[in-house]
Every structure is written in structure tokens, then in C-alpha cells.
Amino acid sequence: MPDNRGVAYIAPGKVEVRSMDFPTFELQDGPGVHPANVGRKLPHAAIVKCVTTNICGSDQHMVRGRTTAPAGLILGHEITGEVVAVGPGVEFIEVGDLCSVPFNIACGRCRRCKTGDTGVCLSVNPDRPGSAYGYVDMGGWVGGQAEYAVVPYADWNLLKFPDKEQALEKILDLTMLSDIFPTGYHGAVTAGVTSGSTVYVAGAGPVGLAAAHSAQLLGAAVVIVGDLIPERLAQARSFGCETIDVSAGDPKDQIEQILGVPEVDAAIDAVGFEARGHGGDAGHEAPATVLNSIMDVTRAGGKLGIPGLYVTGDPGAVDDAAKEGSLSIRIGLGWAKSHSFTTGQCPVMRYHHGLMQMILNDKAQIARAVNATVIGLDDAPRGYGDFDQGAARKYVIDPHGMVRS
């Protein structure tokens, strides 16, 4: 049996690469594993050799100590892998297949899965609808920032690439299919982006950049990206976006300078609960700022896509209400403007096949848009540190040296 190593959350601000058990067809006890899931049999699973596994901003929330994640939790929900073993219940996935792994784990059998709402599967997390690898309160499925990982319900979850060699050539684009490309696309779709739309994307991290690129693919006339970090704004400009520095003042005023009017057709929150204030309050955390801002800048009858993460437990929040996810949102403003809101995990399987086809046929360049940067597994702690400092990069971990070779 091969060895296995993975990236573990240790304490706020600290991760390290640790030896860990090789995955089996039974969910074992460990940090964060829900007791009701311990011993769960997985005859429907596949074990994958992780070809690429990415660092996500959602991981960073845990590493900053902004969730109730336990020490020792193996991180990572953005996995692309080569199948090395399959359980007796797997019919269509075979050893040797190269596949994208949707970050949200879904059974394919429950009521929600059967209607395409795979982000809120009812069967894989005993605590609540929805699950993910290596994430707090998501059922305790072991994370994939590792050399090997197990994927339950493999026939349902895995997206097999049709040509393995072609896929390896485009792996830096295809690795984004596990999360941020579908998530950004979902944000744009649910915001109603279409041909000729004017769009505001709050946040120029990887999900925000993916949302901006997705808005372009959907035919937006103008995509404006707002952030506090100059390097991230420069990355947004590198593929044709307009940008605003929200530390310089109200986004509404800056949008008017670009468009001639102080509003857009569609807005996307790609920041989430660790939002900072705008203008003179830019240095202070204000978790409702982005939600209130996108209501302010979106026209009457417009839609708001909210792929940014909001949580029900935040021990580091600025006040007691925010510690349990209660924010001072101007819902009256959204109501008065007849806004539509879409929140929650992206149902990756709704989009990933079509986005794969766009990548394979050179219609999408998502790796360039998010500045994909390859690092080794042992470099993961440095990657987390650089990302936390605002690096304008999407770190792609290459555990076996398959990308660089």
C-alpha cells in the first residue's frame, strides 16, 4: 500500500504536511469526522491519485481560525485525480481514468440530487444538507490536499476527461472545474448575466476572477471588478476587466465614472463573511459591507449572485451576532428594488461538463484569468501564507510532480 501525506490545519495561521492513512472503502474516524459517518461503507467509491489539488479561499477562512475547524483536519476540496482503485459497486469509472472531482459530495439518489441541487445533498452529511471534502461541519470527508483521496459515489460524482493526454496538457485549466470555475460561473448565471450586461464583481480573489471571466463568456458588455489589493486588480485588468479600488471610495461613484450611470445590471459577491469596509472604513472588518454594496449598485429588478462564503459559526467575528452568521443586511433596500438573491454552494455538476468542453475546445482560459501557479505538496504552507497576504495567484498543488514534468 502506498504512503499518503496531506495538508493539515494545526492552529490559526498554521498548516503542515503530515503523514496520514491511505484511503480505504470505509470512512475512518479522524479530526472533524461526524460520529454518524464513522465506519460508513463505501463500495461505490473510487480512490484517486491526486494529480492537482488547489488552495481555496474557503480553506483560508479555516486556516485563519475563523471557523470551528478542529486541529488535524486534512484540508482540500478542489481535486483532480487519476483513479487507482474502485469499489465493487462502481460500474462505469475505471482504473486509469483521469477525472475532475466536484467539491460538493453528492449521493445522486436523494430528492435534491435528482433535481440537480447537488450542493445540498441530503445523504452525505448527518448535520445538514450539503457536504464537501476537508471542510468543517461538512460530514468529515477527508480532504484532498494530499497524495491520495477517496471519492464516494464515484459513478455519479466523477467527471471523466475524454482524452487523458489532452487533459494533462490542459490540466491547469481543468483543475479549476472542481470548484472555482463552476462557482464563478454560477455566480454570474444567478446574477442574470447575459449578452450586453453590465456587471460588478466584488472581490478579485480566484473566485471573483473566475466570476469575471465567466461573465465575459456569457456575453457581458462590461465587467467591473472591485478589490482592495492592487495586484489582484491588475490581474483582473490583464484579461479585459475594468477595476475599482474600493479603499478609494464608494463603488457606486467609481462605477458611474466608468459607465456614466451609478448602477449595473448584475452584481456578484465573491468576498463573503470576512468583508472589509469601503472608503475610509477599508481597514476594518464589516461583514455585511459587500452584500449591502451590491444591492446599492444593482439596478431595480436586477439579480445578485452570492457565491462568497457565509457561515453559521465564526468565532473571530466582530460582534456576537456575526459570530452566528447574523449580519446587518439592508433587506429593505433589496426588497424595494425587487432584487433576486441566490446564495449557497454551487451545484458543480450543473456546469462542469459544459465548462470542460469550453476548456478542451479553447473557448475558456480560466488558468490565465486566475493566474494558476503550481507548487509542490511540501510548499503548501508557504502557499497558504502568500495567499493570506493577498497574492494574486491561484495555487495549484502538484503532489506527485505530474504537472511540472
pTM confidence score: 0.96
1 — pLDDT class (breaks 50, 70, 90): low
Does residue 356 have a pLDDT over 70?
Answer: yes
Q: Grid coordinates 464589516 are at which residue?
A: 286
Domain check: are 219 and 332 in the same one? Answer: yes
Looking at the chain, the whole-number percentage of residues with pLDDT higher than 90 is: 88
* Pick from 289, 242, 294, 304: nearest CA to 263: 294
Domain check: are 87 and 224 in the same one? Answer: no
Domain check: are 187 and 323 in the same one? Answer: yes
Q: Grid coordinates 497574492 are at which residue?
A: 391
Please tell me the predicted confidence (pLDDT) of residue 317: 86
Does residue 377 have a pLDDT over 60?
Answer: yes
Establish if 404 belongs to a structural domain.
Answer: no
Query: Looking at residue 146, which CATH number applies to its domain?
Result: 3.90.180.10
Domain check: are 172 and 240 in the same one? Answer: no
Domain check: are 244 and 161 in the same one? Answer: no
Distance between start and end Cα atoms, the chain: 24
Does residue 204 have a pLDDT over 90?
Answer: yes
- As beta bridge partners, residue 52 has 80
Please tell me the predicted confidence (pLDDT) of residue 285: 84
Does residue 311 have a pLDDT over 70?
Answer: yes
Establish if 119 belongs to a structural domain.
Answer: yes
62-91: pLDDT as tens digits: 999 999 899 999 999 999 999 999 999 999
Residues 254, 259, 261, 264, Cα dihedral to 10°:
-90
Please tell me the predicted confidence (pLDDT) of residue 274: 87
Q: By the 8 A CB rule, do 342 and 304 touch?
A: yes
Establish if 68 belongs to a structural domain.
Answer: yes
Domain check: are 18 and 59 in the same one? Answer: yes
Please give the residue range of the domain that contains residue 136. 5-179+347-397
Looking at the chain, the whole-number percentage of residues with pLDDT higher than 70 is: 99
Does residue 318 have a pLDDT over 90?
Answer: no
Domain check: are 108 and 130 in the same one? Answer: yes
Look up residue 393 and give its amino acid. R
283 — pLDDT class (breaks 50, 70, 90): confident
Q: By the 8 A CB rule, do 122 and 112 touch?
A: yes
* Pick from 269, 279, 244, 282: nearest CA to 329: 269
98-154: pLDDT as tens digits: 999 999 999 999 999 999 999 999 999 999 999 999 999 899 999 999 999 999 999
Does residue 241 have a pLDDT over 90?
Answer: yes
Domain check: are 337 and 367 in the same one? Answer: no
Structural domain ending residue among the three candidates 325, 342, 359: 342
Does residue 314 have a pLDDT over 90?
Answer: no
Domain check: are 152 and 285 in the same one? Answer: no
Domain check: are 69 and 132 in the same one? Answer: yes
Integer-rounded Cα radius of gyration of the chain: 20
Kindly provide the b/e burial profile for residues 332-346, where b requires at least 16 CB atoms within 10 angstroms of the residue's own CB. eebeeeebebbebbb
Domain check: are 266 and 357 in the same one? Answer: no
Please tell me the predicted confidence (pLDDT) of residue 404: 64
Does residue 405 have a pLDDT over 60?
Answer: no
277 — pLDDT class (breaks 50, 70, 90): confident
Say how many domains are in the chain.
Answer: 2
**Residue 110 to residue 121: CA distance in whole angstroms:** 7
Establish if 402 belongs to a structural domain.
Answer: no
* Pick from 372, 310, 370, 384: nearest CA to 341: 310
Domain check: are 199 and 165 in the same one? Answer: no
Query: Looking at residue 227, which CATH number applies to its domain?
Result: 3.40.50.720
